[in-house]
Structure 1
C-alpha cells in the first residue's frame, strides 16, 4: 500500500466559495442558512436552505458553457479547479494517463431535468434540449473536468446519496494506494434546491420547519432538532501518491490513512447504527490505529431525530470507554446538508481543523438530547491537538463511508 496525501482542496458552499472563506466562517461558528424568498416554496412547510447566490461561474467557464451545464456540474468543476490551483499543479508535466477524476453527485442535474420537463409540457417534445441527457447525468461534473484537464486515468461518479463524496474520496484513495493511479481529483457536487425536492422531503417530514430562525434550524444533537436543512455546493480534494507529491515539491495538506465502507442492509431511510460502527472500525483498522488514537470525528450529524441518536450509538460502540475523551462535532449545523457534496466539504473542514489544531463547533446545541451525550463541542470552537481524525458520511439506502485523515508527517 502506497501512501496517499492531499495536496489540493476546492469548495463551493453556503459559507463561501473558496476554502479560506469557508474555514473562517466555520471556525467562527457562522450559519449559512437563510430564508427562501421565492413564492414557489410558499406552500411547502420548509422555506429555508443553505443556497448559493454569489457564485461567479464566469471565473471558470465561458458564457455558452454556463448556459449548457447544470449548476451541479459548474460547482463541481469550480471546486476541482480550485483544488488543482492550490496543489500548484502544472498540467503540462503530469502523466495524464495516471491521473483520474472521481467526482460524484447524489442527484445530478435536477434543475436541467425539471426545466426540460416543463418545456415539454408547455411546447411539446420537439423543444426538449438535445443537451438534456448529457447535462443532467450524474457523471457530468467528472466528465467535464476530465475534458478540461485532459486526465485520462480512471474516472467515475459515485452515487450513494449523502455518502457520495466519502465514497469517491475513499475509492480514489484505494486506487492510488494500490498503484493504479498517481493522482485523482475526488469529491462531490450537488444543486438540489428546487420546489420538487423540497416538496418530496417535506412529505417525508425529514426537513426542519424552523422557518422563523433559519440560522438556528440546523441543530444536531439538540433536543429541539426537527430535521435537516437542505444545502448545496461542491467539495473536491486532489489526492496524490506521496512520492509523486514530494517529487514535484507539492504543498502537502494531510494524509489519508484509512477508509471504511459498509451497508446497513436494513431500511431505505432509517439507519442501523451497526453499519456505521463497522465503517468506522474498518477505517481505524486500515489506518493501523486504535480507537483511543482518534482525536476528532467530523460527524454526519444531520440534525434528524433518529439519525443523530443512531450515530451517537455507533460512536459509543466503536470507542467504548475511550469515548469520554473524544471530540465530535457536526459542521452541518453551519453549512446545512450538502447531500452528495457534504463529505467533500467536511473533508476540507477536517483537514483545516487538523492543521490549525482547532475543533470546529456544533452550533445551536443549546439543550442536548439525553440520548446524545458525547462531547459535541457546543457553540464555540475549541483548541486542541488533532493528529488523527475521522469524517463520517451515511446515506439513504444504508450506505456508510468513513475516511481517516492523519496530520502530515514526512
Structure 2
C-alpha cells in the first residue's frame, strides 16, 4: 500500500495564558509558568491545590450560548480548540466546497464529562433534589467533544474518542495519522481536552500522593520535572487540536504547512498499573523511529512526558538513554509541563503542538524551574533555558497509567 505524506496544516489551543499560539509559545520560551494556587468553596473541605486553568476562556462568546449549554467544559474547550485549528488550516466552517463524508475526528480525553456527573451528585445528595438535568448523559459522555466537532464542521467520516489516561490525545493523534497516511481520510481533525477540576478527581490524585507540594507563593514553580527538588505533578485543564492532511491535498489548496508528522509508536508495559517500565517506553520510541524511517541520530529534540513525579522521570530518561546510546548526552530534552501543567487526556495534544512549533520556529522551550537536575535523570541535554537551535526532527512522549505508551515523530518543513 502506498503511504501518503501527512502535513500539519492547522494548530489550535485554548491557552492558559489567555493569548494566541504565538503568545503561548513565546511565554514557554521565556520559561513563564501558568500554574496558580486554586482554592474553591467546596463544602465541607475546599480544594487548595496548584492548578493550571484557562480563566480567559468564555464558552458562550466562543461557541454561542445555545451550543455551549449542551456541553460539559471539557467539550467546550475541545470544540473551541478544534475551531481554532480549523480556522488556522484555512478551512471553512460553513457549507464546504468539497465532500467531507470521509473526513474524520479522532479525539482524546481521560475524564470526559466528569463535571456533569459531579454536578448531578451534588444536586441529588447535597441539595436534596429528586432528579438531575435531562442533558446529563450527553454532557457527560466521553465522545461528546468529537461528536460536537463532527456535527459542527460537517465531517462524515470516523468520529472516535480515545480514553487512555495521560496518553489519550497522543494516541488519538497517532490513529488519525495512520488514517491519513493510508489514504483512508484526506483530512483528520485530532487532539484532546480534559478538565480534572472535579472535586472527587482532584481528591483522588491527592490520595495517590503524586501532587506537587506548594502554597500560594510557591505555586508558579511547583512543577519541576527532572529536578532533584521535585515534589510531584500539577493538574490543569485544556484543549488542543491539530489538522492532519494528505500532503498533496494540502498543497493543491495552497495550505500553509506547519510541519510533517512522520511516525507513531504505541506499546503497553504490560507489567503494572501505575509503575512505569523503561522497556515498554523503549519499544514505543523505537517503533516511532522505525515508523518514521528515522534513526536516533536524526532526532534533535524530545518533548518529554516529564510529569515531575519521583518515579516517572528517571524511568523516561533511562528509556531515552537506552534508545539514543552515546548520542543521548547531546539530545535536547525538556518537560514543558513545568509551565502548562498536566492536562491528562489533553496533554499529548498540547505537547504535540509545542513540538511542531519548536520545529517550525527552530527554538526549544525549557524545563522551567529545573535548578539542580536529579542525578537519576542525568545523561541527556536538559534544556533549562529556552534557546534557538537548529532542529530537523523531534519526538513527543506520552506515557500513561495502565502502562500505555505513545510516541509521536515530527519533521521540520524546509523552505
Relative to the length of structure 2, the TM-score reads 0.95
Determine helix, strand or coil for the equivalent of 1:127: coil
Partner in structure 1 of residue 89 of structure 2: 87
Partner in structure 2 of residue 267 of structure 1: 272
Partner in structure 1 of residue 382 of structure 2: 376
Deviation at 1:126, TM superposition (A): 4.4
Partner in structure 1 of residue 208 of structure 2: 204
Q: Which among 9, 20, 23 is matched to residue 21 of structure 1?
A: 23
Distance 2:207 2:200 in 1: 11
Contact 1:41 1:47 in 2 (8 A): no
**CA root-mean-square deviation:** 1.6
Contact 2:302 2:396 in 1 (8 A): yes
1:138 lines up with 2:142 in the alignment: yes
Deviation digits for residues 144-183 of structure 1 (CA, Å, limit 9, x no counterpart)? 0111011001110111011011101100000111111000
Deviation at 1:44, TM superposition (A): 7.2
Q: Which among 250, 254, 264 is matched to residue 245 of structure 1?
A: 250
Determine helix, strand or coil for the equivalent of 2:286: helix
What 5-or-longer segments of structure 2 have no aligned partner?
A: none
| Segment of structure 1 superposing worse, 384-393 or 11-20 | 11-20
Deviation at 1:42, TM superposition (A): 8.9
Deviation at 1:223, TM superposition (A): 0.8
Pairing of 1:131-210 with structure 2 (within 5 A): 131-210=135-214
Deviation at 1:317, TM superposition (A): 0.8
Distance 1:86 1:250 in 2: 10
| Segment of structure 1 superposing worse, 138-147 or 38-47 | 38-47
| Segment of structure 1 superposing worse, 141-150 or 19-28 | 19-28
Deviation at 1:119, TM superposition (A): 1.2
Partner in structure 1 of residue 80 of structure 2: 78
Relative to the length of structure 1, the TM-score reads 0.96
Distance 2:98 2:78 in 1: 21
1:388 lines up with 2:393 in the alignment: yes
Q: Which among 404, 407, 410 is matched to residue 412 of structure 2?
A: 407
Deviation digits for residues 332-362 of structure 1 (CA, Å, limit 9, x no counterpart)? 0100111111111111111111111111100
Partner in structure 1 of residue 56 of structure 2: 54
Distance 1:39 1:155 in 2: 37
Contact 1:46 1:207 in 2 (8 A): no
